[in-house]
Structure 1
Amino acid sequence: MNWRQRLGAFIGGFDAGQHHRRLRGFRATRAHVNALIAGSGPDITARARWLVRNNGYAVNAVESWAANTVGDGIKPISKIGDVARKEEVQRLWLAWTDEADAEGLTDFYGLQRRAAREVFMAGEVFFRIRTRRAGDGLTVPLQLQMLPAEMLPLEQAGTAANGNVIRQGIEFDRIGRRVAYHFFRRHPGDSTDPGLAGEVVRVPASEVIHVIDPVEGGQLRGVSKLAPAIVKLFLLDQYDDAELDRKKVAAMYAMFVTSPAPENPLAPAEDEDAPAGVEISPGQIVRLDPGEDVTVGQPADSGATYEPFQYRTLLQISAALGIPYPYLANDMVKGNFSNSRLALIEFRRRVSAWQHSVMVWQLCRPV
């Protein structure tokens, strides 16, 4: 403890800045978010994607976020005064939106939805602007290629041949402007794509759209929105699996037969091929040998605390994700009109802010 800390402890002040017994185990890092992302970003993204593939609450949160932030698309409105020119531009725009996806899987509005899902899962997504030849048969010779966050290596750092600095795969000029991105040619985790692993290509920043929702100043790369809830989602999933398995095993035991102790407990059974248990059927009358007794299995209930515990845990997960509890759990029983309305209004404010500052500003306007 240096002299400033000793002085602060002596004169009091902010409890949050003290180092007394209650906060002795609270050791917050002073590292910048970029250093934290460099160390933990790949693991966070991998765990977030795993949860979305395997956890019902996680996938529901992602789909709810995409449906509310994008829906069927954020669409522009032309302000051109000339009616004929306006109709021509509108015709070209509608034709281009159908051809916008370089993979041919969806249209421009579908790309918006996929972008919203990727930003929620990985914290960021990239679009490469691909200009096409006139002979490619497109109405407008321009397409967008979606690149997931893993395509830009976090560990890529150093100095480029032109003297620019490369940080986390992004090349900056001498005044801090982004001038290029150094992408992998192939996804590092896709073993089905043949080719040279680790090969990197430099793409000018003018051809790249980086969609990201930074939470700290100077942040270069994104962090999954699932990050604050990953631990609780995983542990709650394990708890539910253990509870379900316990109930399943307990329900398998229909009854227990108690027999008197044999004279020789080590003696083998008379009939080695006899079944280990007694099969029962509805209305069956079972005759027991003298001294035998039957006890019906009574599996223990989950207890009165199971549902309240789940509810409180899901509320914490809901707050961490910024998704209202009914949307996260598809549980409309606990809500009434008033509190559901309040939650919906707050959620819509968050969605509107994100639409303007991220989706519209970073993707729609450049396009």
Structure 2
Amino acid sequence: MKSRPPDGGVKWGIGDRALALFAPRIAARRYAARISIDNLRRGYEAARRGRGTEGWRTTGASSDAEIAVAGAVLRDRMRDLVRNAPMAAAAVQVLVNNIVGAGIQPRAASKSKTRNARVDAAWEQFSAAADAFGHTDFHGLTALAVREMIEGGDVFAIRRPLRAGVAPVPLQIEIKEADHLDDGRLLLREDGTRIKQGIEYDTAGRRLAYYLFPDHPGDVSSMFSGNSASVRVPADMVAHMFERQRVQSRGVPWGTPALRAIRDLDDWQMAELVRKKTEACMVGVVIGADEDEQSMAPKVTTAGGEDVEQFEPGMIAYARGTKDIKFNEPSSTSGVREWTMTQLYAVSAGFRVPYPMMTGDWSQSNFSSSRVGMNEFRRMIEQVQWHIVIPMFCQPIWDWFCEAAWTAGLIDSPTIPVEWAPQRFESINPLQDAQTDLLEVQAGISSMPQVIAKRGYSPQAVVAEQAAFLALTDSYGLKFSSDLRTGTAQAASGTAKSATGTADPAGQGDGAGDSGPTPDGEAPAPGASDTSKT
């Protein structure tokens, strides 16, 4: 007989009571464990087992074990959808456009301006000829690598040193897809080193080498070239870029959560299109057989008496012994747009791309909602740039470049610090954003180099260009309102204030401390006064 204790907890049976008489401590621990299990079951509904979760199949495998089984299939299906599904192709292109854009530009950041100028000049030479196949420059390689990472899960950049004299900087970069990795190679050595999914690790888990196929395994020519065996490539010759969603060694395609949704949407649209075409083929059927033809087999013919074997648009079929005609009535298509939009919302969420950017449909957005959505999307893009693309792809290539340029005698050190400047995001409200930048610089929250770098430009290059332009205008005796040396930028600031409705209409304020009411009778916004004077 079992009973329930006074506190209303788990059941307390005869065996428990007997154990409590001889070993109370063990009985107490046993009872406490039962209470903990019961609390967990009550606290996490998703962990319950029953009819509601009967079809929920999960696994406790590691991320590497799951990727080893499903990685190749996911890559193949993702690439198939990018080739054939418009939404998948658009989502990938939006991600590449925002992550890379025109390029992620490096700038040497040593303490010597002369050294920085020399390093930047050498980088320009290397960037123009960085592609080992000669198709594009470094920024084009970055865009290709990011696309491969999104479609295939990961990508490999291979360091290709050149002989002296072949190029100004004896270095080129080769991009290899994820399929080049021999992920079937597994080995556990006696010294503790191991090979897992084609990647060799030391005893501490650091990468020692990659086993890569010289030719793509799916290329027909590789079957006859004799390069079907993988080759060991040291880890310092490879830059492996992928997104880490768990503690894992390889990545998966970004659109993996949306693959089923895209496939189902395409199948549904195709089925709906076929149904509409079928309905449009048959305009009507002449029916109503005579009494003497009731026993004859049903037969449908054209007006000329030929048997109907396939339907064509605008067709009218005749049944044998007809006296009446019935016209086809196509079914309603209500709800198609709503259902399609719902599926596209799921697809955009799976790709982490805003719905309007993926579909081009901004009808459901206004200025405020689109700006909030873009801000969140840009945070994700910046995280990818600074946590994945720059440290896993751009920085290794910069280190290779510095070593190669130093070996060639172009720079005086094999290690040069660098600053990376991703392409700036286009402003949704340029005037407001420019005023915000100006106020932040004047308040000391930001520096002018930071504001310039945020726009994707080099502060040193902008200052040098500005100085050269001012020297040119001075030689012609020209003065512009944007010349900050003489404080004449006040006129430009006043023009900007007029555009926002905060300028002094009578022109009586001195612009420094004027806190009177605006023409609309409202007090000016903080910082709206003329702060361009020094």
TM-score category, normalised to shorter length: 0.7 to 0.9
Give the Cα–Cα distance (whole angstroms) in 1 for the partners of residues 221 and 284 of structure 2: 52
What is the distance in 1 between the residues matched to 2:48 and 2:300?
A: 71
Residue pair 2:201, 2:207 contacting (<8 A) in 1 also:
yes
Aligned AA for 1:96? F
Distance 1:67 1:273, change over 3 A: same
Cα pair 2:157 2:175 within 8 Å, conserved: yes
Q: Provide the rounded CA distance (Å) in 1 between the counterparts of 2:368 and 2:201.
A: 50
1:258 aligns with 2:287: yes
Structure 1: distance between partners of 2:68 and 2:231 = 20
Displacement after TM superposition at 1:162 (Å): 7.7
- Which of residues 72, 79, 100 in structure 1 aligns to 2:109? 79
Amino acid at match of 1:131: P
Tell me by how many angstroms 1:105 deviates.
Answer: 1.5
Q: CA deviation at 1:297?
A: 2.6
Aligned to 2:328: 297
> What do residues 255-310 of structure 1 show as CA deviations (whole Å, max 9, x unaligned)?
332353373435999999745589999xxxxxxxx9643333321122x2221111
CA contact (8 A) 2:200 2:210 kept: yes
Please state if 1:229 is matched with 2:230: no
Matching residue of 1:286: none
1:155 and 2:179 are equivalent in the alignment: no
The structure-2 alpha-carbon separation of the partners of 1:162 and 1:294, relative to structure 1 and needing over 3 Å to count, comes to same
Given the alignment, which residue of 10, 15, 32 partners 2:45?
15
Higher relative contact order (CA 8 A, sep 6+): 1
Distance across 2 between alignment mates of 1:174 and 1:204: 16
Q: Are the equivalent residues in 2 in contact too, given 1:182–1:200 (CA < 8 A)?
A: yes
Change beyond 3 A, Cα 1:180–1:339: same
The one of 336, 344, 347 aligned to 1:317: 347
Counterpart of 2:38, as a letter, is F
Q: Distance in 1 between matches of 2:313 and 2:76?
A: 49
Q: Distance in 2 between matches of 1:326 and 1:28?
A: 34
Partner Cα distance (1:44, 1:229) in 2: 11
Structure 2: segments with no counterpart, 5+ residues = 1-30, 315-320, 398-534
Of 153, 161, 186, the match for 1:123? 153
1-structure distance, mates of 2:46, 2:191: 47
What amino acid is aligned across from residue 210 of structure 2 in structure 1? Y
1:190 paired with 2:219, answer: yes
Equivalent residue, structure 1, for 2:10: none
Q: From the superposition, tell whether residues 8 and 22 of structure 1 become closer, same or farther in structure 2 (CA, over 3 Å).
A: farther
Residues 160 and 128 of structure 1, relative CA distance in 2, 3 Å threshold: farther
1:364 equivalent in alignment to 2:394: yes
- Show the counterpart of 2:13: none
Partner secondary structure for residue 251 of structure 2: coil
Aligned to 2:98: 68
| Secondary structure at the counterpart of residue 108 of structure 2 | coil
Structure 1 counterpart of 2:70: 40
Q: Structure 1 CA distance, aligned partners of 2:61 and 2:98?
A: 34
Shift of 1:241: 0.6
Equivalent-residue separation in structure 1 for 2:106 and 2:297 (angstroms): 84
Amino acid at match of 2:135: L
Q: Which moved more, 1:89-98 or 1:188-197?
A: 188-197
- Within 5 Å, which residues of 2 pair with 1:328-347? 328-347=358-377
Name the structure 1 match of 2:137: 107
Q: Residues 294 and 135 from structure 1, CA distance in 2 versus in 1: closer, same or farther, beyond 3 angstroms?
A: same
8 Å Cα contact 2:107/2:120 also seen in 1: no
Q: CA deviation at 1:153?
A: 2.0
Aligned residue for 1:366, secondary structure, equals helix
**In 2, Cα distance between the equivalents of 1:160 and 1:280?**
69
Greater Cα offset, 219-228 or 156-165? 156-165
- Contact kept, 8 Å, 1:180 with 1:205, in 2: the verdict is yes
Q: Hey, what's the Cα distance between the residues in 2 that align with 1:59 and 1:270?
A: 45
Residues 174-253 of structure 1 mapped to structure 2, 5 A cutoff: 174-193=203-222, 194-196=224-226, 198-217=228-247, 219-253=248-282
Between the aligned partners of 1:363 and 1:36, the Cα distance in structure 2 is 25
Following superposition, the deviation at residue 358 of structure 1 comes to: 0.4
Deviation at 1:91, TM superposition (A): 2.2
In structure 2, what is the equivalent of residue 284 of structure 1?
none
Contact kept, 8 Å, 1:251 with 1:299, in 2: the verdict is yes
**Residue 103 (structure 1) shift:** 1.3
Report the number of matched residues: 355
Counterpart of 1:235 in 2: which secondary structure?
A: helix
Q: Work out the CA distance in 2 between the residues paired with 1:185 and 1:206.
A: 17
Displacement of 1:6 in angstroms is 6.8
Structure 1 stretches lacking a partner, 5+ long: 282-289
SS in 2 for 1:365: helix
Matched, 1:168 2:197: yes
What is the aligned counterpart of 1:90 among 98, 102, 120? 120
Per-residue CA distance 1:22-80 (angstroms, 9 max, x = gap) = 23333321111111111111111111111111111111110000001000100012334
Q: CA deviation at 1:252?
A: 1.5
> Are the aligned partners of 1:9 and 1:19 in contact in 2 as well (CA < 8 Å)?
no
Q: Are the counterparts in 1 of residues 301 and 307 from structure 2 also a CA contact under 8 Å? A: no
Deviation at 1:319, TM superposition (A): 1.3
Letter in 1 for 2:331: A
The answer to whether the 8 A contact 2:286-2:322 is kept is no
Q: What's 1:51 paired with?
A: 81
| 3-state secondary structure, aligned to 2:107 | coil
Letter in 2 for 1:110: G
TM-score, length-normalised on structure 1? 0.87
CA contact (8 A) 1:256 1:295 kept: yes
Residue 143 of structure 1 deviates from its aligned partner by 0.6
Mark the CA change 1:135 to 1:271 in structure 2 (over 3 Å): closer, same or farther.
closer
Separation in 2 of the partners of 1:108 and 1:235?
38
Q: 1:270 to 1:18 in 2, by over 3 A?
A: closer
Alignment CA distance shift 1:163-1:247 (3 Å)? same
> Residue 56 of structure 2 is aligned with which of 18, 22, 26?
26
Distance 1:259 1:166, change over 3 A: same
